[in-house]
Amino acid sequence: MSRIRILGPRGQLQSVLGCVQDLGLVQLVEPSETESLSLLGLTPEQARHVRGVRKVVKDVDTALELLGQTPSPPKTAKDLDLRRAALVAGRCRRELEGLAEQHQQLEEERALILKFRPFFAAFRKIGESGLDLDGIRVFYLILKKDGEEELRRMRAAFRQALGDGFELLSQPSESGESAMLLAVPAADAMKAEQLLSEAGVQALSLPDQFEEESVGSTIQRMQARLGELPGELATLERQRRRIAEDRGRELAGIQATVRDYLATIEATEKAVVTPRAFVVEGWIPSAARPDLERQLGKSFGDQVEIEAVSSEEWAGDTVPVVLHNPRLFRPFEAITGMMPLPKYGTVDPTPFVAVFFPMFFGIVLGDIGYGTMLGIISLILRIRSKPGAKLRSISEIGLACSLFTIIFGFLYGELFGDLGHRIGLHPLIFNREEAFFPFLGFAIALGVVHIVLGLLVGAVKMFRGDKRRAIGKGMAAMMVVLIALALMAASGMLPERFFTPLVIATLVALPILIVAEGVLAPIELVSTLGNVLSYARIMAVGTASVMMAIVANRMVGAFGAVWVGVLFALVFHLINFVLGVFSPTIHMLRLHYVEFFGKFYSPGGSQYRPFRHWSARESATDERSA
Tens digits of residue pLDDT in 598-609: 888 888 888 888
Task: Give the C-alpha separation, 583 to 361, whole Å.
Answer: 10
Give per-residue pLDDT as tens, 75-90: 544 555 777 888 888 8
Task: Give the C-alpha separation, 399 to 394, whole Å.
Answer: 9
Report the mean per-residue pLDDT for the chain: 82
Question: Which candidate, 381, 373, 445, 356, places its Cα nearest to that of 409?
Answer: 373
Determine which of 94-98, 129-133, 403-407 has the lowest per-residue pLDDT on average: 129-133
Give per-residue pLDDT as tens, 468-498: 888 888 888 898 999 988 888 888 888 888 8
Task: Give the C-alpha separation, 551 to 569, whole Å.
Answer: 8
Characterize the bridge pairing of strands 606-607 and 320-321: parallel
Q: In the predicted model, is pLDDT for residue 72 greater than 50?
A: yes
Q: Name the helix (H) or strand (E) containing 392.
A: helix 390-412
**What integer pLDDT is reported at residue 624 of this predicted model?**
43
Q: Name the helix (H) or strand (E) containing 499.
A: helix 499-517
What are all long-range contacts of 236-244, with beta carbons under 8 Å and residues at least 24 apart? 236/99, 236/102, 236/103, 236/106, 237/103, 239/99, 240/66, 240/67, 240/96, 240/99, 243/67, 243/92, 243/95, 243/96, 244/67, 244/69, 244/71
**What integer pLDDT is reported at residue 625 of this predicted model?**
46
Rg of the chain over Cα atoms, rounded to whole angstroms, equals 36
**What integer pLDDT is reported at residue 376 of this predicted model?**
95
Task: Give the C-alpha separation, 308 to 28, whole Å.
Answer: 14
Domain architecture of the chain: domains with CATH: 1-38+273-322 (3.30.70.240), 117-205 (3.30.70.2750), 330-606 (no CATH)
69 or 58: whose pLDDT is higher?
Answer: 58
